[in-house]
Amino acid sequence: MQLATRTTVRPAARVSVRAAPRPAVRVVRARAQPEKVLQEAIKEAEEVCDGGAAGECAAAWDNVEEISAAISHKKANDAATNANDPLEQFCGDNPDADECRVYDD
């Protein structure tokens, strides 16, 4: 029985090892940098509101709100899915490591 479970665990681990470029993809996604987008949007809103029409000013601040909301949603999601937990991250890539094995029975 134990042998059987081991053989079912291993192929899954191999697949995730082969999918090694995953962390690289994560880094690329992080490069979108919503924080930088936010700073630019705030700067733009302040400039637009200095001389622009009321509608354009509201639209510019609305963009700021949208980006702020996106940042906080991402943080909440990461917290909910343990995306920032180093052990969870490691176990996502190495489900058969000693630290990560979970047997349901």
Q: Which residues bind another protein (CB under 8 A)?
A: 29, 32, 34-35, 37-39, 42-43, 45-46, 49, 53-73, 76, 79-81
Min dist CB 15 to another protein, Å, is 15
Min dist CB 85 to another protein, Å, is 13
Identify which of 61, 69, 71, 70 has the alpha carbon closest to the alpha carbon of residue 41.
Answer: 61
Q: Which is nearer to another protein, 64 or 91 (CB)?
A: 64
Distance in Å from the first CA to the final CA of the chain = 12
Q: Would you say 100 and 93 are in contact if contact means Cβ atoms under 8 Å apart?
A: no
Q: Which is nearer to another protein, 10 or 78 (CB)?
A: 78
Min dist CB 94 to another protein, Å, is 21
Distance of alpha carbon 64 from alpha carbon 58, whole angstroms: 10
Min dist CB 11 to another protein, Å, is 20
Identify which of 1, 3, 17, 13 has the alpha carbon closest to the alpha carbon of residue 98.
Answer: 13
